[in-house]
Structure 1
């Protein structure tokens, strides 16, 4: 009897084992352990390794809303909106890989803007645009980036639709930067001049050349601050049959210096920058304000009706900006510029008169929590013409001015 019971029990155990084995065979294979995101500390905070690669990626951006007020003398109020609103969202992607030649970097900043323009011409509109997109490798830069001619580039002047007081433009470039150590670098850049080609005064015709601009700079960054000296040359071409271009080369120079002023406050800085250009108005900052009437804005080439030749305009500006921190999360900015534009021939009905202008502004900036910023900014600009011009109200005037107020909030991430 005991033998029979023993055989039954052993058979039952064996049967259960077989059932368990069969059941296990029907179960799905256990998934591999998930690949967790790994922090990449090589390039600073916010970078992580893209799973399965040796590339570090940082994702960021911002959302910003601006509330604008403006006022122009010499312009009928029906031609522009007293108030208008803009909203902008931006995505930034920064990918870096370490190679035997140094860091391989690619960067994208894509912006989408919604709202009215200053005159209300476009109504509610959405305008996506690639603000920057470039590759850097072994000292080379290829793509759309801040022009290597620029230095101060209107740092700390706020607003989606704000004034420019000095040279500030993105361009598509092919550039090489040599690092000499101890804070010194030098860059040679070939840049698309399309956004800075400012045409001629002949019948409102704006022309461009197929030859890009050639730019070089020397830059220094140290504990006390830094400086940059830049130069640019480009071809001028009117593309007008039967006319001669007397000044067929445009050029510009820039000198800028930055001072760190910790004795005034932690983070305090002072920028001073001067630019001069011949046949290169867009490189000087003379066109960045809103006080000059559009019909009398400076262009690169003017037709001299006495000689039948195109001659280049000249312009220069000097600009400054001071930032002071009252506390770690509250700071103020004061900025301004003065410039003069010289037209080679001032001929009634044919050319803009020469003029001078100035711009002054200030802002208060408050960050109650990290990555959230509130800004209130006021700007005033005035243009004085060497001879009277006809404003948009049909009146002769020797000066025009503008006021602008921007209230803004930005959340960065």
Structure 2
């Protein structure tokens, strides 16, 4: 019995061992592979993020620019600094490269689509705002857009509700076609947009004015001859922000084109009569405003894809809504003269001016008025070639009170800080293959300043100009740009 029992137990143990070995040799059950699926509901290029119901799209472009006879990257006219002085200190040819990356995510919810959008640029330039030795590999990083949209609300950095869908580009490549609002790099905001159907919408927004919407608020008591010739009307005395700009928009966007009305309220708030001493007091705060009408016409008889984009803008105490974007607040262009050492045209765009050293002699703020028109006609010759003709006209006035404050100490010339700027240009694009475009652009800018006579200006070592008498004369400058861009 003992032998039989031993054989039975031994056989059982062997069977258990064999079954265990066979089980160990069996393959484990693999997890299901989650393939990336196309998300067609939001258009081409969207895919579901594996394991989620969120769709994502990656895009961007790479751009190479060569600016000819401009003052900085992106074909800025030579209208100030060393370029405006036409001295050997200026870079007359500038190379500029940009890589743009954008990420768009969307998720359907019971409240509608939740969307996030991020757009960043890596820039390398041989001169101007993106040149220099700081930043990433002697370049710079820019965040154009970063916002969340949910249930009609927009939170973050996005195109202003005041602006048009084409922002500062009705048909141009250059970022310096003024005459209307331009915040192509986005502006921080909290906004709500209501959709009424059939392409009709309305929006209300609170927008940060500190980055792009404050030009100058000058205390003219500190004005100097050298400063005036550089477009400075004294000490810039804008205070910190207290209330964001309040913006409203009404838009009709349909197959025939677009019509839009926009309005903005803009607080004008000075620091102190003496910027280094709070006990000197300050002028009372005031409010400026801006209004804009815009129209875009499509389906033109000139050809498929042709369009006309046009805006008209008026501002009171809010000059950046007319002369804004990346444009500076001051202009100074030198030229030849038959009666003096050289000629010069200069101007300053400011929201307002005041004067005084303290509350005993200080004045209130006198606001400027500005208006501008800007537009373009865009024509497709065939699927590969297209041309745009664009232009603008801008005008800024300080009124009789403002002119008196600016010119209170002017002697020996006809002082008048009012000015106009006219621009006209054209760009032709060749698209040999889809999403690859080569373009050439040229633009003429004319500064019509209102000062007359001649002015003795002290030496300015920054732009290598000697102390001399300069004829006050209108000036014009040409600028040009060559571009290659690949969109993906």
Aligned position for 2:218: 201
Please give the alpha-carbon distance, in whole angstroms, between the structure 2 residues aligned to 1:293 and 1:343: 18
1:127 aligns with 2:140: yes
Shift of 1:361: 0.9
Report which structure shows greater RCO (CA 8 Å, sep ≥6).
2
Per-residue deviation, 1:343: 1.8
Going by fraction, where is strand more abundant, 1 or 2?
1
Show the 5 A alignment for 1:142-161. Answer: 142-151=155-164, 152-155=166-169, 157-159=171-173
2:121 alignment partner, one of 101, 105, 111: 111
Q: How does 1:211-222 map to 2 (within 5 A)?
A: 211-222=243-254
State the distance in 1 between where 2:444 and 2:373 align. 16
Report if aligned partners of 1:166, 1:285 keep a CA contact under 8 Å in 2: yes
How far does residue 32 in structure 1 lie from its aligned partner after superposition?
1.9
Pairing partner for 2:293 from 255, 260, 266 = 255
In the alignment, the residues of structure 2 paired with residue 143 and residue 121 of structure 1 have an alpha-carbon distance, to the nearest angstrom, of: 27
**Conserved 8 A contact 2:177-2:392:** no
The count of corresponding residues between Structure 1 and Structure 2 is 399
For residue 12 of structure 1, what is the aligned residue in structure 2? none
Q: In structure 1, how many angstroms separate the alpha carbons of the residues matched to 2:109 and 2:386?
A: 40
Q: Partners in 1 of 2:148 and 2:315 — Cα distance?
A: 30
Structure 2 unmatched ranges of 5 or more: 1-13, 71-77, 220-234, 274-279, 334-345
* Alignment partner, residue 321 of structure 1: 376
Check whether the contact 1:243–1:308 (CA below 8 A) recurs between aligned residues.
Answer: no
Alpha-carbon distance in 1 for matches of 2:42, 2:381: 30
TM-align CA RMSD: 2.9
Q: 2:257 aligns with which of 225, 243, 253?
A: 225
- Once residues 347 and 297 of structure 2 are traced to their aligned partners in structure 1, the CA distance between those partners, rounded to angstroms, is 36
Contact persistence 1:268–1:325 (CA under 8 A): yes
String of CA shifts for 1:56-113, please: whole Å, max 9, x gaps: 0001111111000125475132342100111111111000000111111000001111
* Structure 1 partner of 2:206: 190
Q: Which residue of 2 aligns with 1:366?
A: 430
Map 1:34-53 → 2, pairs under 5 A: 34-53=33-52
Larger mean Cα displacement after TM superposition, 123-132 or 45-54: 123-132
Matching of residue 410 in structure 1 with residue 457 in structure 2: no
The TM-score, its normalising length taken from structure 2, stands at 0.75
Distance 1:172 1:340 in 2: 28
**Residue 105 of structure 2 aligns with which residue?**
95
How far residue 182 of structure 1 moved from its aligned partner, in angstroms, is: 1.5
Shift of 1:303: 1.8
CA distance in 2, matches of 1:135, 1:218: 21
Per-residue CA shift, 1:170-220, capped at 9, x if unaligned? 211100111111111000000001121113122234433221000001000
Distance of 1:208 and 1:401 partners within structure 2: 36
**Residue of structure 1 equivalent to 2:341:** none
Change (3 A) 1:277 1:192: same
CA contact (8 A) 2:171 2:377 kept: no
* Pairing 1:380–2:380 present: no
